[in-house]
Amino acid sequence: MKRCSILVLITILISGLNATSQVANRFFPEKNLTTTGIYYYPEHWNEDQWERDIKRIAGMGYEFVHLAEFAWFKMEPQEGKFEFAWLDKVVALCTKYNLKVLMCTPSATTPAWMRTNYPETFVMDGHYIRGEHGTRGLGSIVNPAYRGFVEKVVTEMAVRYGQNKNVIGWQLDNEPDAKPDYSPSSQEAFRQWLKNKYEKIEALNAAWGTAFWSQWYNDFSQVIIPNTTLVGWWGNNPHALLDFKRYSADTQAEFLDFQAAILRRHISKDQFVTTNYTAVSTGADPRRTKQLDFATYTAYPNGGSNNIGDLGFRLGNSSVILFAAEYYKSVGGVSGVMEIQPGPVNWGSYNPLLLPGTVRMWLYHTFAAGGKLASSYRFRQINYSAEQYHAGVIQTDGISPSAGGEEYIQFMKEIKELRKLYKPGASMPEKLAARSTAILWNLENYWTIDRQKQTSQWDTWNYPIKFLEIAKSFDAPVDLIPETADLSKYKFVIIPAYEMVDSALVKKWREYAANGGHLIITCRTATKDRMGHFWEAECAAPISGLIGAQVKATDMLSSNGKGDILMESTHYSWNNWADLLAPDKNTETLAVFDNQFYSGKAAVVKHKVGKGTVTYIGVDTDDAKLEADILKEIYTGAGATTENYPPGVFVYWRDGFYVAVNYSSENYTMNMTETANIIVGEKILKPGAVLVWSE
C-alpha cells in the first residue's frame, strides 16, 4: 500500500513539473503535408545487412525509421547492464542516409530475466494465472518493480538519444490497451483508486448499489476486482465493472504519462512524445493522458472480413481509418497513422491478397483526414516466428518490394509532388464549413452500454460510426469530440446514445441549441447518471425538456422482426431499438411507428430551442436509411447543401487539396466543377482508387 502511494506521489510530482506539453502541430511543418516512415527491427537481422537495409529504406523514399520498439532484451540483456552500441550504430546509419529516427520505449516486451527473477511484474488473468514470458503487453503496469525497470531503461534511452538532432520523437510502449489485471499489485492499486474516488466505503456502497445480493462492503479492504471470469454475467455488478474499466484506463494513461515524464527530463523540446493506439481501442482511453504531444493509431483494415460489395474482402473495412483518423485528433489536435497494414496479415480469419492499389488508398485516406505522419509495420517480412506470414514492404528475400511496398513508393513520390503544389493559408471552402459537424462520443458510454446492451442486435462500437458515415456521405467535415470541447464552432452536433450525463452537460447542450446550433440526439441518451444508475424519474428525464418529448417505453424486435416507420409518405424498417415518444405540444413529430400495437406513436421528434433545433431519433435501424434521411432534412433545413456519396466513397478537403478514396466494389464518377484541376488519379474512381484535385 505504502509503495503504491509513493508511486502515485512521485507520478503526481513528475507530472506537475512537466505539464507543459508542446503544441503538437509545431512538430510537423504544414508544407510537408505528411511525413512517411517504416518500422525496422535491426535485432531481427544480421548486422552485416543493416546498412543495405537502411540505404534501401532511404532509396524507397521513407523519411523516418521507427526503432527499438520490442528490443528491451538487446538494450538490457542482463538486469542493470545496458548495451546501446548496436543501436548507436543503427542510428548513425540512419543519419548517414538522411533518415530521421522515431525512437520507441520497449515496455511492451520484457527480457526473460524479468519473468524469471520478478514474476510479480506480470499481469494475472481472471483465473489469477500469471502471464508468461514470450509475448507482449503482459507487464503489470501498476507493479512497482516493473515500473522501476521501465524507469531505468527509459532513462538510459532518453539520456542517450534525447539530444540527438536526428531523433524526431518517441513512441511510448506498443498499442496500449488497458488490459484487465487481477494480480495482487493491481488489486491493491484498484482499492487505492477507489479510496481516492470515494473516500468513504458508504459512498462506494451507494455508487455500486451493493445492497443488491448482499454485495455490501464494511471496509475497502474487502473489495476485490469484479471478476466476470469467475462470477459469470449475472453475478456482476455493472457499476463495479464500470469503475474497473475506469481504473484500468486511468492506470494505462498514467503509465504513459509516467514514461513521458521520464523522457521529458532528458529530451530536447524538439522531440515529440506519442504512442500508437489501436484504431479500435475499447479499453485504453487516449483522452485520459496528459503528457502526450499527440496520439497516433495503428490501422489494419483488412482481416478477411466481407466489407462493401464483392471486392470488399480485398479492400478492407472502410470504417477503420474513417473513425481513428478523427478520434485520435482529440489528443493534441493532430494525429497520424503509426502502423498501416502493408499487405496480407497473419491473424485475419483468412488473409487474402489486397486489391492492387489498396495500401495506397489507405495511405491517402489517412492523409486526406489530416494525418501528419504515415508509417507502416514493417520493413522486411520476417522469415521466422509468430508473424512469419505477415507482409512487409520488403519480401522474405530481404530486397524485393512487395506489392504494398511498391504502392508505398508511389505514395511517397506523389506526396513529394503535392508538397510542391502546397499553398500556405488555404481556408476551408464555405460550402464545407456550412456542414461542419461534431459527434460527441466517449468510451465510458461504450463501456456501460456494451455491458448491458439489452438486445444482442445493438452494435455498440459501430453505432456512433453509423452517424460518422452518414455525415461523410454528405461530404461534411466531421470531428469526434469529447464532451468538454467547444461546441460553438459546429453547425451540427450529433449525440449518439450518450447514456451517462449530468445536469451541467445537458445545460451545455441546451445553450448550444439556444445559440443557433442544431443538435441531433439519439436513443439511449441521458438514461443514466454518471454511475450508471437510472434516474428516480421518467426515462431520460434530464433531456425531456430539451427534446420536447418523453421517452415512454422502449421496444426491441428479433433479428428478422419487421418494425415499420412512416415519415411523410416513406416507409422505413427497424428491428433493433425503438423509443416510444410522447411529444410536448410544441414539438413536431417527424416520423411515427406504423405497425405493432403502438402504431401511430412518435419515433422521431424535432423541437425548436432558442435560435436552434433539437431532433431526437428514438430508433436504431440496420440500414440507417431513416437516420440518413432525417439528418439530410436537418442539414438542408439549416441551409447546408449535402452531397450523396455512396457507402465507401469518402471525400476530404485538407490544405487546399480535395482527396477522394473508394472502398466500394463499384466505379464512382466524381462530380467536379469545370475549374477542377486533377492532380492524382482519374475522375472515374475505380475500387481502391484515389483522386486528388484542387479547385
What are the catalytic residues? Answer: 175, 339
To ligand GAL, the closest distance from the beta carbon of 281 in angstroms equals 11
300 vs 313, which CB is nearer to ligand GAL?
300
Please state, in angstroms and rounded to a whole number, the distance separating the CA atoms of residues 635 and 542. Answer: 26
175 is a site residue for ligand GAL (CB under 6 A): yes
CA gap 522, 631 in Å, rounded: 11
Nearer to ligand GAL, 215 or 282 (CB): 282
Nearer to ligand GAL, 390 or 601 (CB): 390
Nearer to ligand GAL, 277 or 645 (CB): 277
In the complex, least distance from residue 661 CB atom to ligand GAL, rounded to whole angstroms: 21
User: Minimum Å distance from CB 27 to ligand GAL?
Assistant: 22
Q: Are strands 612-617 and 657-662 parallel, antiparallel or unpaired?
A: unpaired
Any contact of residue 475 with ligand GAL (CB under 6 A)?
no
Contact 293, 102 (CB under 8 A): no
Residue placing its CB nearer to ligand GAL in the complex, 175 or 407: 175
CB of 490 to ligand GAL, least distance (A): 33
Alpha carbon 268 to its chain centroid, in Å, reads: 28
Query: Does the footprint of ligand GAL cover residue 372 (CB under 6 A)?
Result: no
Among 289, 298, 522, 664, binds ligand GAL (CB under 6 A): 298
Question: b vs e for 486-509, b when ≥16 Cβ sit within 10 Å of the residue's Cβ?
Answer: ebeebbbbbbbbbbbbeeebbeeb
Helix, strand and coil in the chain, % to nearest 5:
35, 20, 45
Q: Which of 101, 37, 38, 110 is nearest to 70 (CA)?
A: 110
- What's the alpha-carbon Rg for the chain, to the nearest Å? 26
Kindly state the helix (H) or strand (E) to which residue 413 belongs, with its residue range: helix 403-421
Among 122, 161, 247, 300, binds ligand GAL (CB under 6 A): 300
Instruction: Please state, in angstroms and rounded to a whole number, the distance separating the CA atoms of residues 548 and 671.
Output: 40
Question: Minimal distance in Å, beta carbon 172 to ligand GAL?
Answer: 13
Distance between CA atoms of 398 and 4, rounded to whole angstroms? 47
Among 377, 492, 512, 652, binds ligand GAL (CB under 6 A): 377
**Closest to 499 measured CA to CA, from 460, 529, 526:** 526
Residue number, 298 or 575, with CB nearest to ligand GAL:
298
Binding mask 181-220 for ligand GAL (x = CB under 6 A): ----------------------------------------
Is 347 labeled as ligand-binding?
yes
174 binds ligand GAL (CB under 6 A): yes
- 189-196 own/partner pairs: CB under 8 Å, 24+ apart: 189/4, 189/142, 189/247, 189/251, 190/223, 190/225, 190/244, 190/247, 191/220, 191/221, 191/223, 192/1, 192/4, 192/5, 192/8, 193/247, 193/250, 193/251, 194/220, 194/223, 194/243, 194/247, 195/220
Q: Return the bridge partners of 553, or none.
A: 580
Residue 3 is labelled as binding a ligand: no
In the complex with ligand GAL, which residue's Cβ is closer, 137 or 209?
137
DSSP for 461-514 reads THHHHHHHHHHHHTT--EEEE-TTS--TT-SEEEE-S--B--HHHHHHHHHHHH
- State the number of binding residues for ligand GAL (CB under 6 A): 9
| Residues forming a β-bridge with 494 | 439, 520
At closest approach, how far in Å is the CB of 255 from ligand GAL?
17
177 binds ligand GAL (CB under 6 A): no
Supply the minimum distance, in Å, between the C-beta of residue 69 and ligand GAL. 7
**Contact criterion met (CB below 8 Å) for 424 and 31:** yes
Q: What are the beta bridge partners of residue 139? A: 122
Contact 278, 315 (CB under 8 A): no
Helix or strand run (H / E) with residue 407: helix 403-421
Contact flags string 330-369 toward ligand GAL, x per CB under 6 A: ---------x-----x------------------------
Q: Which long-range CB contacts under 8 A does 624-628 form with residues at least 24 apart?
A: 624/466, 624/469, 624/470, 625/572, 626/565, 626/567, 626/572, 626/574, 626/591, 627/466, 627/467, 627/470, 627/522, 628/470, 628/473
Least distance from ligand GAL to the Cβ atom of residue 115, Å: 20
State which residue, 35 or 375, has the beta carbon closest to ligand GAL: 375
Task: Show the site string, 603-632: x = touches ligand GAL by CB under 6 A, - = not.
Answer: ------------------------------
Q: Which of 239, 245, 360, 390 binds ligand GAL (CB under 6 A)?
A: 390
CB of 72 to ligand GAL, least distance (A): 14
Residue 560: name the closest of 618, 617, 622, 619 by CA. Answer: 622
For residue 325, which amino acid is it? A
Task: Give the other-Cβ count within 10 Å of 96's Cβ.
Answer: 13
**Nine-digit cell at 551?**
421517452
Of 122 and 377, nearer to ligand GAL (C-beta) is 377
Q: Which letter does DSSP use for residue 289 in this model?
A: -
Contact 436, 489 (CB under 8 A): yes
Least separation in angstroms between residue 325's CB and ligand GAL is 17
**C-beta of 186 vs 281, nearer to ligand GAL:** 281
Using CA atoms, how far apart are residues 132 and 526, in angstroms rounded to an integer?
43
β 296-299/478-481 pair status? unpaired
For binding to ligand GAL (CB under 6 A), which residues are involved?
174-175, 298, 300, 339, 345, 377, 387, 390
Extract the annotated binding site for substrate: 136, 174, 347
Binding residues: 136, 174, 347
